[in-house]
Amino acid sequence: MGSSSKKVLIIDDDTRNIYALRMVLKAKGYECITAMDAQTGLQLLTDQPDIGVVLLDMMMPEMDGYEALEMIRADQQLATIPVIAVTAQAMVGDREKCLAAGASEYVSKPIDQDILLELLKNKFNM
C-alpha cells in the first residue's frame, strides 16, 4: 500500500465530520477521498491502491467501523494499510478495543487537529 501517496480515505457517515476533516487535511496538502458508509469505503480501498491512510469512524449504521476493520485486515491486499480509528465514544477501554480490532491508531472526537496531523505524518513517514 502506498506510503508514497498522501491520499487519505475518510469513512464517516456524518457530512460535517467529513467536511471538517477535508478542510484540515487539504490545507496540509493531503488528497482526500470520502465515503459515507463502510461498504463504499471498502470498495474505494480496493479500487484505489494508492490510498495511504484510512480515517475510519467506528460508529456507523449498517456496517460499523469494527466490522469494516475486520474486513480490511482479512483482505491480503489491504491488510497492511494504516487505519486510524475515529470515535466519539471516548470511554475507558475504547482505545484498546479499537487497537485490538486492528486499528493502527486511535483518535477521539472532537478531533485534536495537531494530534491527527502528527499521526498522519508518522503514517506517511514524513
In a domain, 57, yes or no: yes
Note whether residue 2 is domain-resident.
no
Looking at residue 4, its pLDDT comes to 52
Nine cell digits for residue 15: 457530512
Q: Global pTM?
A: 0.93
The CATH number that applies at residue 49 is: 3.40.50.2300
Report if residue 66 sits inside a domain.
yes
Using only the alpha carbons of the chain, give its radius of gyration.
Answer: 13
Answer whether 109's CB lies under 8 Å from 79's CB.
no
Q: What is the pLDDT of residues 68-87, one digit of tens each?
A: 999 999 999 999 999 999 98
Whether 70 is in a domain gets the answer yes
Residues of the chain with pLDDT under 70: 1-5, 126
Domain that residue 61 falls in: 7-123
